[in-house]
Homo-oligomer: A and B are copies of this chain.
């Protein structure tokens, strides 16, 4: 039996990735929901049967009995659509930042605009299964994590929990992302000639993804320095994380923290000492690869974490959340 699920924003890169993944999912039938904002840009359906199209309204949700609607839309569109979709009986996985930050104040502080759905914001479950798995199955609305925070939290939280990070010295997260992370809407910043053979930093110390890391990792803003940088490539995020370790005398002890925390996790892969992740290994997969190094003399530690920003950083994790919400095996359609 297949659950019918709707995709709004299927013309963007995350939306197209949802189509790609769900078209192969044994228990889901994806349907395209035609939102007015989608007008520009032709869709990308590579090697999948183009799904059926629906209107993006209550009526369509009801008549098709959609189990889940994915919102691969800007935050303001998600705030507008989520109540309607829920009201019509669907559950919602939202890929925007609209429902990630817990309180309207936090949202406004980082997104510079009021939150129009404070009750849904309070209700939303944060969809990082490795740390929030309990609340997702029962949630009506899941806030799918941002791409940078997914990698940062998977790399940092086990260490913070285990108390092996000297927070007083500060934690640095130097993040690099492929261009697809900036979305499909044409802009000078993502034009080929501006990006190729180039590299630069942006949103230094004020990126909207920072509060998601703080919220999940438990760090304070003053303890966490984050820089996002644009790689001249299509997809992938690699984060290089620096901190001072405490209470660990050997790299094996640091890696043991991860091994213990991630035992049984299907999508986290740990690297042996001396090996580090790269982007090729995670491209088009839902894996999160983690490697680490430690200088025992000085306690300086480095963790490298890699994901595909469109899969574990967006559409793949959204499907992982959907699987949990629908009582399906968590890895269904993702391996």
Q: Which residues of A contact B (CB under 8 A)?
A: 13, 41-42, 46-47, 169-170, 172, 174, 176, 178-180, 184, 186-188, 190-202, 204-205, 221-222, 225, 227, 229, 231-236, 238, 240, 242, 244, 276-281, 283, 285, 287, 293, 295, 297-298, 300, 302, 304
Contacts and interface: CB of A to CB of B under 8 A. Distances in A.
Contacts of A169: 169-170
A196 B41 contact: no
Closest 10 CB pairs of A and B: A222-B298, A200-B278, A174-B174, A186-B186, A179-B192, A192-B195, A172-B242, A204-B293, A197-B233, A172-B172
Contacts of A186: 186-188, 190-191
A261 B118 CA distance: 51
A199 B244 CA distance: 24
16 contacts: A169-B169, A170-B242, A172-B242, A176-B229, A184-B193, A186-B186, A186-B187, A197-B283, A200-B276, A201-B240, A204-B302, A205-B293, A205-B295, A225-B300, A227-B302, A229-B238
B238 A199 contact: yes
Nearest to A302: B204
A222 B46 contact: no
A229 to B, nearest CB: 7
Contacts of A200: 238, 276-279
Contacts of A194: 280
A173 to B, nearest CB: 9
A193 B244 CA distance: 36
A198 B13 contact: no
Given A199-B233, A200-B276, A276-B201, A191 B192 contact: yes
A237 to B, nearest CB: 9
